[in-house]
Amino acid sequence: QQQVKQSPQSLIVQKGGISIINCAYENTAFDYFPWYQQFPGKGPALLIAIRPDVSEKKEGRFTISFNKSAKQFSLHIMDSQPGDSATYFCAARGGGGKLIFGQGTELSVKP
């Protein structure tokens, strides 16, 4: 049972373009939605996070859009750079502080 579904599985974007990754969740009890960035050979690192009472959060070039009624949230990377090439995971926090992760999106930004 996949409680958090992430798409696309892979994404290729030109430098300067917008990268968009989408996630959908099922459990309305989730109370915290982080996005993690992972480079090869490293552990995931928190990129940006949002709570369900907020519809949008922006930090630099990274924006989370949250649609509570549709149970969907997305990550937008503006002005994508080759250094943004990484695997991105959305997640949702449930009971006991447990994080449920999406399947991951491998982003490649071409120069």
In the 8-state DSSP scheme, what is residue 84?
G
Those residues with Cβ within 8 angstroms of residue 47's Cβ, 6 or more apart along the chain or in another chain: 34, 35, 36, 37, 62, 75, 88
Residue of 15, 42, 58, 110 interacting with other proteins (CB under 8 A)? 42
Q: Smallest gap, in angstroms, from Cβ of residue 4 to other proteins?
A: 8
Name the residue nearer to other proteins (CB basis): 17 or 22. Answer: 22
Q: Does 40 bind other proteins (CB under 8 A)?
A: no
Residue of 31, 57, 85, 108 interacting with other proteins (CB under 8 A)? 31
Q: Does 33 bind other proteins (CB under 8 A)?
A: no
x/- track of binding to other proteins for residues 72-91 (CB under 8 A): -----------------x--
